[in-house]
């Protein structure tokens, strides 16, 4: 008699546990669904379509933004300076820029709109690279050496770090700005203009530099400089945004960090993706990406380069302001939270 | 799979496990050593880069040639170390910062050493500033990167050391446990099999040959069990066959015994019953001779003598036959016999003949032995009688009676210097009614030695003769020291 009674009790317990587990599963699946659909925070990020943006494209492609609760829209611009303007105007939430537009926006009054209430802040640097910006001349324009660019049509994307690069290049080779014919043109347009002979000299970053140098070969020559320029690709936000949405900024950096790890572990896949996203030949992207370390950082180098930019602006008379220290532009809070190992800057 | 193969597998697995672990430990140790060597180089690199930055600043301040020399030396060291640090190949910024620093410093040197190339002082100052910033930025980057890489390598070493310990836990312990389990199960299987074999052997030893060892396994023990079973089956068959044979023999022995008994009874009855009519014939023949001898011619008297003599010999024959039949049937009580006394009685029996022939008899000291007294007396009586009887007329008979104690038997002999026996007759002399001489030459019934043989066999002994024609004979016989009724 006891045995059936025990069995009934056991069956009842089993049924209860099963029902409980089913309920929990349904609840969890419902909440997960809600979070996926309703809790994703919309974020618009201004980016430039070049290989320094690999982490952004990978994070979007692999869903790392969504994993961190963000619904990221990538706003593709021609240069970081454009993204800075959109950031200041409130069109986007986060901008990816080089140090030149960042410093321009902060120090050079002509770039700051009168009604701007917020200061721009740097939360992280995304890449470490040297020599990914180059001055390239056409052989058939009679250019083989730096000195040969005198009187030639030199294309320049204004308000970008390329402006600093060209300035240093001219300074090193003692060529006055007035000795060249400057043609203002964004980097993307420079490629076509260089290949069809509209310009004699292109000042570009990768992967366009490789594209011009090797496709086709013997068309172009890289003009040497001993003042190699280091490239940064900064994540910048406005003060107010970081104060109001700290979790978004942290989540955004976490997404990039994961994407960078993925790139290091899957370089071929990343190259393929970047080739598709930038429309640049696979071999070009492969060569170009080999020159870049994808790693979040805030280092002394970052500070040095920012200082260099500031000095350059003062030297060229772009700004008289030197009151504000460049270190004040950097907000360490998010890197400290997300990737403290990347901070090597002495504070 | 055979036990040998299994043992080989265990040994092989043990060797492979130990070798694998040893190689793994060696590899981890080498990896750690390699990491340590890299860490050492990274540390030196970081230090040299730091000094390079310092020397750059000193040079920018003083433009002293010492600093220029030191800078070049440090840069050579930095470049050399950079080439030796494997991980730098994956850090483009490190690989590219070094030539960047070098080029910027060359520009500084060129500006300072050949100012005529840069006549504009303001431009020269700006260029120097940008070049120095360039170097500072790269130096700082190198210090930051190498410091981070240094930390990563230390972490790698820590992980390797932890891995090494964990691998010992995760690999060595399970491997050893697996080997122990394997050895345990194998040992268990072998022990179980051995127990079965032992139990099977025990049953076989107890005579349970119908039992079989149930050990169906494809190894040496299985094979051994099969051989045990085959052996048991073979033994079983042999024993059954032997049983049948024994039964047959027992039956035959029983039949033979009955037949012998019947024959002995017949001989006893026949000889006993024959004696009376024979005695009557002889008496009447003797009476006939006595009363009518003078009335009968010589031929008739001679015939009567033949008849009397024949009946006399017939009587002796019947008496001997009667004695023969009594051996083992009537004479069957074993008791201790003083052989000295027994032999004295026998010699006394032959005293008249001994004196007549001048026979010399030598008797060794004899023990007391267990035997049927009358039977043993008959043996000595027959052998001594033969020794006295079978002599030629010319020599003086000499008889020697001896004894030897063997392990289980007493051995006796009766030696004479008589006529001897030809070799071809030595065995025949023990047959019943076998005579080598005619009654006229040496009287007798031919029963004596047959009677001896029967008595000796009754005493679990043997009898034989050693002799040479004309040189006498020695009759040997043995009796068991352990006789029971």
Q: SS3 sequence, chain B? A: CCHHHHHHHHHHHHHHHHHHHHHHHHHHHHHHHHHHHHHHHHHHHHHHHHHHHHHHHHHHHHCCHHHHHHHHHHHHHHHHHHHHCHHHHHCHHHHHHHHHHHHHHHHHHHHHHCHHHCCCHHHHHHHHHHHHHHHHHHHHHHHHHHHHHHHHHHHHHHHHHHHHHHHHHHHHHHHHHHHHHHHHHHHHHHHHHHHHHHHHHHHHHCCCCCCCCCCCCCCHHHHHHHHHHHHHHHHHHHHHHHHHHHHHHHHHHHHHHHHHHHHHHHHHHHHHHHHHHHHHHHHHHHHHHHHHCCCCCHHHHHHHHHHHHHHHHHHHHHHHHHHHHHECCCECCCEEEEHHHHHHHHHHHCHHHHHHHCCEEEECCCCEEEECHHHHHHHHHHHHHHHHHCCCCCCCCEEEEEEEECCCEEEEEEEECCCCCCHHHCCHHHCCCCCCCCCCCCCCCCCHHHHHHHHHHHCCCCEEEEECCCCCEEEEEEEECCCCC
Same domain? A26 vs A101: no
- What's the confidence (pLDDT) of residue A117? 56
Measured between beta carbons, which residues in chain A are less than 8 angstroms from residue B104? 226-228
Q: Which chain B residues touch A311 with a CB distance below 8 Å?
A: 129, 133
Token pair 């500006």 is at which residue? B111
The predicted model gives B338-354 an average pLDDT of 90
A145 located within any domain = yes
Instruction: Report chain B residues whose CB lies below 8 A from the CB of A299.
Output: 140-141, 144
Assess if residue A144 is contained within a domain. yes
- In which element (H, E) is residue A99 found? helix A99-107
* A260/A238 same-domain check: yes
| CA distances to A80, A312, A346, B135, B411 from A100, in Å | 9, 10, 22, 19, 138
DSSP H or E segment with residue A345: none
Distance of CA B21 to the CA centre of its chain: 43
Residues B387 and A342: their CA atoms lie apart, in Å, by 135
- Inter-chain CB proximity B136 and A311 less than 8 Å: no
Answer yes or no: do B93 and A293 touch at CB < 8 A: yes
Q: What pLDDT is recorded for position A10?
A: 44
Chain B residues within 8 angstroms (CB to CB) of chain A: 91-93, 96-97, 99-100, 103-104, 106-107, 118, 120, 123, 126-127, 129-131, 133-134, 136-138, 140-141, 143-145, 147-148, 151
Lowest mean per-residue pLDDT among A51-60, B269-278, B472-481: B269-278
Residue of B nearest to A228 (CA): B100
Is the CB of B92 less than 8 angstroms away from the CB of A308? Answer: no
Residues 6+ away with beta carbon under 8 Å from A41? A69, A70, A71, A245, A248, A251
B141/A300 Cβ within 8 A: yes
Contact B138 A230 (CB under 8 A): yes
Collapsed DSSP state (helix, strand, coil) of residue A344? coil
Record the tokens describing residue B322, joined without a space.
Answer: 């009667």
Same domain assignment for residues A208 and A183: yes
Task: Decide if pLDDT at B183 tops 60.
Answer: yes
Q: Among the listed ranges A65-74, B16-25, B473-482, which one has the minimum average pLDDT value?
A: B16-25
Residue B14: partners with Cβ closer than 8 Å, 6 or more residues away = B179
B212 neighbors B232 (Cβ within 8 angstroms) = yes
Tokens 């080439």 correspond to what residue? B83
Q: Is B41 exposed, middle or buried (0-12, 13-18, 19+ CB in 10 A)?
A: buried
Chain B neighbors of A315, CB-CB under 8 A: 126
Distance in angstroms (rounded) separating the CA atoms of residues A81 and A308: 18
d(CA A35, CA A303) in angstroms, rounded, equals 39
Taking the C-alpha atoms of residue A108 and residue A103, their distance in angstroms, rounded to an integer, is 7
Shared domain for A241 and A337, answered yes or no, is: yes
Residues contacting residue B346 through CB under 8 Å, at least 6 positions apart = B377, B380, B381, B384
Question: In a mutagenesis test of the B interface, which of A125, A129, A228, A307 is the best target, namely the one with the most B β-carbons within 10 Å?
Answer: A228
Tell me if A129 and B92 make a contact (CB, 8 A cut-off).
yes
Name the domain boundary from A180, A201, A228: A228
Four-residue CA torsion sign, A174, A176, A177, A179: negative
Going by C-beta distance under 8 Å and a sequence separation of 6 or more, which residues neighbour residue B81? B41, B44, B45, B48
Per-residue pLDDT of chain A (347 residues; tens, 9 = 90+): 344 444 444 444 444 444 445 445 544 444 444 445 458 999 999 999 888 999 999 999 999 999 999 999 999 998 888 898 899 888 999 999 988 888 877 776 565 544 555 688 999 999 988 888 899 999 999 999 999 999 999 999 987 889 889 999 999 999 999 999 999 999 889 999 999 999 999 999 888 898 898 877 788 999 999 887 778 899 999 999 999 999 999 999 999 999 999 999 999 999 999 999 888 888 888 988 888 889 999 988 888 888 888 888 888 887 766 667 888 889 999 999 999 989 988 87
The answer to whether position A13 is within a domain reads yes
For residue B365, name the pLDDT band (cuts at 50, 70, 90). Answer: very high
The pLDDT tens digits for B375-422 are 899 999 999 988 988 888 777 889 999 999 999 999 999 999 988 888
Residues of B with Cβ-Cβ distance to A168 under 8 angstroms: 130
What torsion do the CA atoms of A229, A254, A64, A47 make, to the nearest 10 degrees? -40
- For residue A347, tell me if it sits in a domain: no
Question: Distance between CA B41 and CA A330 in Å, rounded?
Answer: 33
Domain end point (choices A228, A260, A293): A228
How close is the nearest chain A Cα to the Cα of B151, in Å?
10
- Are the Cβ atoms of A304 and B133 closer than 8 angstroms? yes
If phi over 0 gives left and psi between -120 and 50 gives alpha, with beta otherwise, what is residue A284?
alpha
- Whichever domain contains A94, its CATH number is 3.40.190.10
Q: Which of A212, A228, A244 is the last residue of a domain?
A: A228
Q: Rounded CA gap, B280 and A134, in Å? A: 168
User: Which residues of A sit within 8 Å Cβ distance of B?
Assistant: 128-131, 168, 171-172, 174, 226-228, 230, 290-293, 297, 299-301, 303-305, 307-308, 311-312, 315, 341, 344
Locate the chain A residue with the closest alpha carbon to B97: A130
* Domain count along chain A: 3
For residue B473, what are the CA distances in angstroms to B51, B121, B393, B462, B465?
A: 132, 158, 16, 17, 7
Nearest to B96 by CA among A344, A50, A132, A52: A132
Confidence at residue A313, expressed as pLDDT on a 0 to 100 scale: 83
The 8-class DSSP code of residue A347 comes to -
Nearest to A298 by CA among A251, A238, A339, A245: A339
Which residue of A lies nearest to B145 if distances are taken between CA atoms? A344
pLDDT of residue A13: 47
**pLDDT one-digit tens code per residue, B110-129:** 999 999 999 999 899 989 98
**Three-class SS of residue A85?**
helix
**Tokens, residue A278:** 């930038």
Q: Do A226 and B91 touch (CB under 8 A)?
A: no
CB contact under 8 A, A300 and B140: yes
| Beta partners for residue B294, in sequence order | none
10 Å CB burial of residue B259 (0-12, 13-18, 19+) is exposed
A239 and A325 in a common domain: yes
Let me know whether A141 and A222 are in one domain.
yes
Rounded Cα distance, B106 and B383, in Å: 144
As given in the structure block, the two tokens for residue B279 are 């005695």
> Are A47 and A76 contained in the same domain?
yes
What three-state secondary structure class fits A97?
strand
- Does B320 have pLDDT greater than 80? no
Q: What is the DSSP letter of A232?
A: -
Structure tokens that stand for A309 in this block: 């930019």
Residue with tokens 């970052």: A302
Neighboring chain B residues of A226 at a CB cutoff of 8 Å: 103-104, 106-107, 131
CB atoms within 10 A of CB A276: 13
Candidate from B106, B126, B141 with C-beta closest to A315: B126
Residues of A whose CB is below 8 A from B136: 304
Query: Is B93's CB within 8 Å of A130's CB?
Result: yes
- The alpha carbon of residue A313 is apart from the nearest alpha carbon of chain B, in Å, by 12
User: Could you list the residue range(s) of the whole structural domain that residue A15 is in?
Assistant: 1-32
Report the gap between the CA of B214 and the closest CA in chain A (Å). 41
Residue A113 and residue A229 in contact, taking contact as beta carbons nearer than 8 Å: no
Q: How confident is the model at residue B340 (pLDDT cuts 50, 70, 90)?
A: very high
A338 and A237, same structural domain?
yes
Report the C-alpha gap between B478 and B485 in whole angstroms. Answer: 18
Residues A241 and A321 both lie in one domain:
yes
Which two three-digit tokens encode residue A238?
């406005």
Global confidence as pTM:
0.57
Indicate whether B481 pLDDT > 70. Answer: yes
Note whether A158 and A298 are same-domain residues.
no
**Contact A227/A173 with Cβ under 8 angstroms?**
no
Q: Residue B256 is encoded by which pair of tokens? A: 């033979």
pLDDT > 70: percent of chain B: 98
Residue B18: C-alpha distances to residues A62, A276, B161 (Å) = 44, 51, 19
Give the separation between CA B137 and CA B53, rounded to whole angstroms: 10
**Is the domain of A235 the same as that of A120?**
yes
Does B231 score more than 90 pLDDT? no
Confidence at B256, pLDDT banded by 50, 70, 90: confident
- In eight-state DSSP terms, residue A231 is E
Taking the CA of residue B211 and the nearest CA in chain A, the distance in Å comes to 45
Mean pLDDT, residues B226-244: 87
3-state secondary structure at position A44: strand
Residues of B in contact with A344 (CB under 8 A): 143-144, 147-148
**Cβ–Cβ gap A290/B92 under 8 Å:** yes
Inter-axis angle of helices B220-292 and B173-205, nearest 10: 10
CA distance B132 to chain A (A): 10
The 3-state DSSP class for residue A264 equals helix
- Alpha carbon of B26: minimum distance to chain A alpha carbons (Å): 28
In a domain, A165, yes or no: yes
Nearest CA distance, B76 vs chain A (angstrom): 18
Rounded distance between C-alpha atoms, residue A262 and residue A58, angstroms: 8
**How much of chain B, in percent, has pLDDT values that exceed 90?**
29
Please report residues of A whose CB lies closer than 8 A to that of B99: 228
Give me B156's structure tokens.
């790698």
Nearest by CB: A301 against B126, B129, B144: B144
User: How many Å apart are CA B64 and CA B55, to the nearest integer?
Assistant: 10
A301 and B133 within 8 Å at the Cβ level: the answer is no
A147 shares a domain with A116: no
Q: Which residues of A touch B147 (CB under 8 A)?
A: 344
Please confirm whether the linkage preceding A258 is cis (ω < 30° from 0).
no
> Number of Cβ pairs closer than 8 Å across A and B?
91
Contacts of A308 in chain B (CB under 8 A): 130, 133-134, 137
Q: Is the predicted pLDDT of residue B445 greater than 90, yes or no? A: no
A190: tokens are: 């420079």
Burial of B400 (0-12, 13-18, 19+ CB in 10 A): middle
Q: How many angstroms separate the CA of residue A217 from the nearest CA in chain B?
A: 24
Question: Is the Cβ–Cβ distance between A263 and A55 less than 8 Å?
Answer: yes
ipTM over 0.90: no
């Amino acid at each position: 008699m006891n045995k059936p009674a025990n069995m009934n009790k056991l069956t009842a317990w089993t049924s209860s546990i099963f029902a409980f587990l089913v309920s929990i599963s349904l609840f969890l699946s419902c909440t997960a669904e809600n979070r996926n659909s309703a809790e994703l925070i919309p974020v618009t990020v201004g980016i430039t379509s070049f290989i320094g943006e690999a982490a952004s494209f990978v994070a979007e492609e692999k869903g790392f933004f969504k994993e961190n609760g963000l619904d990221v829209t990538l706003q593709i611009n021609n240069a970081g300076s454009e993204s800075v303007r959109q950031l200041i105007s409130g069109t986007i939430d986060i901008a990816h820029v080089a140090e030149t537009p960042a410093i321009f926006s902060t120090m050079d009054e002509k770039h700051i709109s009168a009604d701007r209430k917020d200061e721009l802040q740097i939360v992280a640097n995304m890449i470490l690279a040297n020599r990914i910006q180059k001055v390239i001349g056409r052989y058939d324009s009679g250019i083989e050496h730096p000195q040969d660019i005198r009187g030639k049509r030199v294309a320049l994307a204004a308000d970008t770090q390329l402006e600093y690069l060209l300035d240093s290049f001219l300074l090193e080779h003692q060529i006055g700005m007035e000795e060249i014919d400057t043609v203002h043109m964004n980097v993307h347009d420079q490629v076509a203009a260089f290949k069809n002979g509209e310009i004699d000299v292109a000042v570009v970053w990768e992967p366009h530099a490789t594209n011009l140098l090797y496709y086709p070969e013997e068309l172009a020559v890289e003009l040497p400089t001993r003042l190699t320029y280091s490239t940064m690709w900064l994540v910048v936000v406005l003060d107010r945004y970081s104060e109001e949405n700290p979790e978004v900024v942290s989540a955004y950096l976490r997404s990039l960090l994961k994407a960078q790890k993925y790139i290091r572990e899957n370089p071929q896949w990343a190259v393929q993706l970047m080739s598709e996203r930038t429309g640049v030949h696979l071999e070009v992207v492969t060569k170009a990406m080999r020159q870049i370390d994808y790693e979040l950082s805030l280092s002394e180098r970052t500070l040095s380069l920012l200082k260099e930019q500031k000095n350059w602006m003062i030297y060229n008379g772009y700004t008289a302001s030197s009151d504000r220290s460049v270190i004040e532009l950097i907000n360490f809070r998010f890197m400290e939270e997300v990737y403290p190992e990347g901070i090597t800057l002495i504070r | 799979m055979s036990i040998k193969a299994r043992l080989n597998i265990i040994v092989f697995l043990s060797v492979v496990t130990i070798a694998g672990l040893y190689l793994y430990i060696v590899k981890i140790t080498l990896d750690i050593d390699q990491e340590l060597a890299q860490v050492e180089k990274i540390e030196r690199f970081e230090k040299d880069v730091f000094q390079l930055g310092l020397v750059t600043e000193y040079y920018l301040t003083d433009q002293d040639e010492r600093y220029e020399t030191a800078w070049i030396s440090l840069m050579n060291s930095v470049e050399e170390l950079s080439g030796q640090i494997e991980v730098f190949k994956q850090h483009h910024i490190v690989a590219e910062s070094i030539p960047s620093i070098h080029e910027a410093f060359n520009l500084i040197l060129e500006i300072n050493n050949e100012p005529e190339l840069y006549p504009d002082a303001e431009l020269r100052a700006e260029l120097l500033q940008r070049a120095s910033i360039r170097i500072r930025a790269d130096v700082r980057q190198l210090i930051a990167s190498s410091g981070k890489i240094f930390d990563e390598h230390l972490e790698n070493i820590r992980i390797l050391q932890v891995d090494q310990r964990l691998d010992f836990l995760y690999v060595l312990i399970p491997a050893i446990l697996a080997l122990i389990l394997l050895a345990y199960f194998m040992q268990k299987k072998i022990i179980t099999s051995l127990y079965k074999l032992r139990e099977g052997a025990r049953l076989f030893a107890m005579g349970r040959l119908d039992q079989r060892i149930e050990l169906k396994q494809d190894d040496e023990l299985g094979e051994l069990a099969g051989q045990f079973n085959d052996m048991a089956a073979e033994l079983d068959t042999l024993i059954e066959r032997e049983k049948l044979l024994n039964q047959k023999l027992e039956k035959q022995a029983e039949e033979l015994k009955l037949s012998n008994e019947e024959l002995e009874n017949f001989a006893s009855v026949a000889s006993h019953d024959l004696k009376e009519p024979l005695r009557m014939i002889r008496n009447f023949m003797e009476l006939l001779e006595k009363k009518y001898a003078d009335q009968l011619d010589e031929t008739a008297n001679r015939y009567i003598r033949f008849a009397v003599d024949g009946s006399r010999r017939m009587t002796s024959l019947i008496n001997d036959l009667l004695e023969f039949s009594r051996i083992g049937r009537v004479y069957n009580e074993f008791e201790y016999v003083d052989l000295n006394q027994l032999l004295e009685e026998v010699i006394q029996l032959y005293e008249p003949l001994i004196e007549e022939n001048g026979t010399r008899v030598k008797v060794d000291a004899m023990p007391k032995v267990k035997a049927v007294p009358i039977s043993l007396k008959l043996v000595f009586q027959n052998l001594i009688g033969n020794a006295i009887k079978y002599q030629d007329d010319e020599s003086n008979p000499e008889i020697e009676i001896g004894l030897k104690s063997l392990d289980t038997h007493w051995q006796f002999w009766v030696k004479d210097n008589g006529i001897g026996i030809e070799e071809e007759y030595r065995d025949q002399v023990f047959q019943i009614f076998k005579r080598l001489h005619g009654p006229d030459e040496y009287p007798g019934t031919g029963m004596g030695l047959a009677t001896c043989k029967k008595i000796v066999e009754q005493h679990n002994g043997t009898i034989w003769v050693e002799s040479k024609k004309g040189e006498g004979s020695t009759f040997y016989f043995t009796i068991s020291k352990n006789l029971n009724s």
